[in-house]
A and B are shown apart, each in its own frame.
Chain A
Amino acid sequence: MTTPNFSLAELMIVAASEAFRDNGEVLASGLGIIPRLGASLAKMTHSPELLMTDSEAFLVEEPIPVGPRGDYQPKYSGYMPFERIFDNVWRGQRHAMVGPTQIDRWAQTNLSVIGDYAKPKVAMLGVRGLPGNSINHLNSFFVPSHSTRVFVEAEVDMVSGVGFKAERWSEHMRRDTMGIGLTVTDLCVMDFKGPDNAARVISLHPGVSFEHVQKNTGFPLLKADDLHETVAPTAEQLELIARLDPHNLRSKQLKGNPAGIRSAEQVDV
């Protein structure tokens, strides 16, 4: 089989789709173009059991292409307004891939403010649904620009999503309802399944070294035992991605739309 040409965005879509494998019949919410395409690809290939919406209020069994729909007619299978999404959250039957502004070594996330809480340097969206999502169901992370600004050295500035920091939990709080899935970045794929939930690199994108990832991460990383190169998209996956993204919005998600296969010099720009 010849290796097709693919972009870094397409590599990350395929990596994101793996986060949704073997989740069971949960509502898959990919927030942002690449996570949404990842969830959609998962449903169209290895995990048709996933539930998915039209990103507004209706369930669909066939993922809806992103962007303007043209002649495409969504085929609805049910109803999922915001209030029912909350119901899914509370019951733990959802997996969201979100893009936090900061992530720390405990997998805690921040979407609220950078800097002092009373007088923030940067006010962002607010915690949104992160506190409830993170404590109730599986969450994965998407990071388009892997850096020490995102993967911070200390604790995130405003803990919006829960993680594994023991001091944050009392002995009577249930911790078994939370779960952290995969972290897909422009450099690698990570999880938090090392000893004591330490962050591990499980695959490196072509041309990326572990040392480069570590240099751009504010906390120590482990190498997974089977650390490997992130699996390249197949021709079939690329065809499905093109169908799910007819306007090529994926090409605008990463600065400069890098190629999937890069030299070490191209990675380190």
Chain B
Amino acid sequence: MNKQMTSAEAVAHLRDGMTIGFGGWGPRRKPMAIVREILRSDVKDLTVVAYGGPEVGMLLAAGKVKKLIFGFATLDAIPLEPYFRKFRQAGTLDVMELDEGLFQWGLKAAGMRVPFLPARAGLATDVLTHNPGLKTIRSPYADGEELLAMPALYLDVAFVHVNRADRLGNTLVTGNDAYFDHHVVRAAKQAFVSAEEVVEKFELSKEEARFNTFERSLVTGVIEAPFGAHPTMCSPNYGWDMKHLKEYSDGASEENGWANYVEKYVQGGEEQYRENNGGTDYLASIPLPAL
């Protein structure tokens, strides 16, 4: 069994109009090498599901997104994701704006193959007003409480980035927080995992194996992508690249800013990308942020 492939082979599974989800959280451990591959592809009309970071802004800027299902979009140190803001304010983007916890609940419901999970989050807010598709339900028990029935968020394809993987699809997230990647892959028909490092077959200690957060039966393909989360953080390997994020962000308010970004950072492929960002020694030295 060998699930290793290139990111181009993974992205070839995408079709126009698919619903795709991303792991990570804001500017943290996003599968950016795969995102750049999607930017190079012809695929369009995607529904993007994410705790949004720069992947959301980049896919919007490239005209790939029909609908965004999100709880937020942020670069943290730069609070407002520049292209998200631009496209949201243009009024052309179809959105399903969810509470962060509801978002998790939707993925979990999909992973459990149930139509919905009940929650209080979202009641008495405009999350209900602006998402007429969200319904409430009465508890069938004595309490009779009215709750929001968060529908399952089924994904056609999920993309996540991890620290280590093997060719069988076993993965380790060795950073401080696994975020919600395990829910993202469980909600998807197919999941493709990029990793800083891919080995033939794991032979781990128990202590290391504890960093495995989802099983290989959920993984369709494994992609070796060193610095594949850059410019987002991949703890403990490297921090987010503020210089790069600022350049990306500034481009949103410049004429041809996005086209320039694509030319400099997307068109040339990953090796060129690492080179244009200062080379691998520099990338490995980007410190983790003090939060």
Binding site for B on A (CB under 8 A): 54-58, 67-69, 81-83, 86, 89-90, 108, 112-113, 116-132, 134-136, 158-163, 165, 168-170, 172-174, 177
- Number of A-B contacts defined by CB within 8 Å: 137
Q: Which residue of B lies closest to A161 (CB)?
A: B125
Residues of A within 8 A of B1 (CB): none
Q: Contact check, A132 vs B121: say whether CB atoms are below 8 A apart.
A: yes
Contact present for B290 and A117 (CB under 8 Å):
no
B88 and A113 contact, CB distance less than 8 A? yes
Quick one: CB contact mask for B80-101 with A, threshold 8 Å, 1 for yes? 1000110011110000011111
Residues from chain B with a CB closer than 8 A to the CB of A125 are 72-74, 79-80
Query: In the assembled complex, which residues on chain A have CB atoms less than 8 Å from the CB atom of B91?
Result: 116, 118-120
Which of B138-146, B198-206, B262-270 lies at the interface? B138-146
* A199→B25 CA distance, assembly (Å): 35
CB distance from A183 to the nearest CB of B (A): 19
Task: Indicate if B135 sits at the interface (CB-CB under 8 A).
Answer: no
A170 and B146: CB pair below 8 A?
Answer: yes
Extra contacts besides A81-B178, A127-B99, A168-B124 (4): CB < 8 Å: A90-B101, A118-B91, A127-B98, A130-B99
Are B127's CB and A128's CB within 8 A? no
Interface digits, B145-164 against A, CB 8 Å rule (1 contact, 0 not)? Answer: 11000000000000000000
In the assembled complex, how far is the CB of residue A185 from the closest CB belonging to chain B, in whole angstroms? 20
How far is A126 from B52 in the complex, measured between Cα atoms in Å?
10
Does A162 lie within 8 Å of B125, measured CB to CB? yes
Which 4 A-B residue pairings sit nearest by Cβ, starting from the closest?
A119-B91, A132-B121, A123-B88, A172-B146
Interface flags, B35-79, vs A, CB<8A=1, else 0: 000000000000000001000000000000000001111100001
Q: Which of B72, B119, B138, B179 contacts A132 (CB 8 A)?
A: B119
B126 CB to nearest chain A CB (Å)? 4
> Is the pair B121, A131 in contact by a Cβ cutoff of 8 Å?
yes
How far apart are the CA atoms of A160 and B121 in the complex, in Å?
A: 10
**Out of B71, B74, B90, which one reaches A129, CB within 8 Å?**
B71
